[in-house]
């Protein structure tokens, strides 16, 4: 596949927006990552190509180039998350496999100053719907450290299935860490995940079970 179907795409739900990653985001990306160093460090892969806390701009430029190249090859969907027009974080669908699998993995991070407003599950629901109903993927995985309760709540409230532990799957914060595999397939969300998430929030607003925001 030379190009992902429907990419580049900008997706919007109220004040939450997913838009393609741009070189022009470099300074706000760097400032946000540095300010959130303690918030992100326990969950971030120890990747020499995109170190968390360098002060230079080269790591970001390298990352954008890599992700854009992977997008052109049909291997990744890199988005910036914005909230009310403000840079809020990043969501990337990567490791896309075509053929008989049509699967991918999703990762995300959010500015700690904006946590607790439902931004992350809304952004993830939009991304899932785009992957399933526009791009043509069949399965999405999110692999999350057992200790990362905030990230686990995001996928659990959206209905991702827990499928077990992947032992020492990724090098995180200086050591090989276990991850819990969560997954969804297109059959799980026949009417779209964003619709399900809207209904859950509306139910909470009108006296149903509370939905904890992340």
pLDDT at 127 exceeding the cut of 90: yes
- Whole-angstrom CA distances from 88 to 82, 99, 119, 179 are 5, 34, 9, 25
Band of residue 54 on the pLDDT scale cut at 50, 70, 90: low
What is the distance between the alpha carbons of residues 181 and 160, in angstroms, rounded to a whole number? 9
How far apart CA 66 and CA 170 sit, in angstroms, is: 20
pLDDT of residue 120: 97
What's the mean per-residue pLDDT of the chain? Answer: 88
Instruction: Say how many CA atoms lie within 13 Å of 173 toward its Cβ.
Output: 13
pLDDT computed for residue 151 by the predictor: 93
Domains of the chain: 11-205 (3.40.630.30)
CA neighbor of 199 nearest in space, from 159, 165, 155, 170: 159
- Give the model confidence (pLDDT) of 13-45 as tens digits: 999 999 998 888 989 998 998 899 888 877 777
The span from the CA of 160 to the CA of 83, in Å, is 24
Q: DSSP letter at 35?
A: H
Q: What is the pLDDT of residues 68-125, one digit of tens each?
A: 899 989 999 999 999 999 999 999 999 999 999 999 999 999 999 999 899 999 999 9
- The span from the CA of 97 to the CA of 111, in Å, is 29
Question: Are 52 and 9 within 8 A, CB to CB?
Answer: no
* Tokens found for residue 49: 């190509």
- The per-residue pLDDT for 208 is 56
pLDDT band (50, 70, 90) for residue 55: low
pLDDT of residue 46: 66
């Amino acid at each position: 596949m030379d190009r992902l179907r429907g990419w580049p795409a900008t997706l919007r739900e109220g004040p939450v927006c997913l838009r393609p990653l741009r070189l022009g985001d470099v300074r706000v990306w760097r400032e946000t990552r540095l300010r959130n160093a303690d918030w992100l460090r326990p969950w971030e892969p120890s990747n020499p190509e995109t170190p968390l806390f360098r002060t230079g701009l080269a790591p970001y430029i390298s990352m954008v180039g890599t992700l854009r190249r992977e997008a052109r090859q049909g291997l990744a969907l890199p988005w910036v998350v914005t909230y009310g027009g403000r840079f809020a974080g990043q969501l990337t669908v990567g490791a896309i496999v075509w053929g008989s699998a049509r699967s991918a993995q999703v990762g995300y991070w959010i500015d700690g100053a904006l946590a607790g407003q439902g931004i992350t599950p809304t952004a993830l629901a939009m991304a899932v719907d785009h992957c399933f109903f526009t791009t043509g993927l069949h399965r999405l995985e999110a692999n999350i450290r057992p200790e990362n309760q905030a990230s686990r709540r995001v996928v659990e409230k959206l209905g991702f299935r827990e499928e077990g532990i992947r032992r020492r799957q990724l090098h995180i914060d200086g050591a090989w860490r276990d991850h819990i595999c969560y997954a969804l397939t297109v059959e799980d969300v026949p009417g779209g995940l964003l619709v399900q998430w809207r209904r859950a929030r509306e139910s909470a607003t009108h006296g149903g079970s509370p939905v904890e925001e992340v």
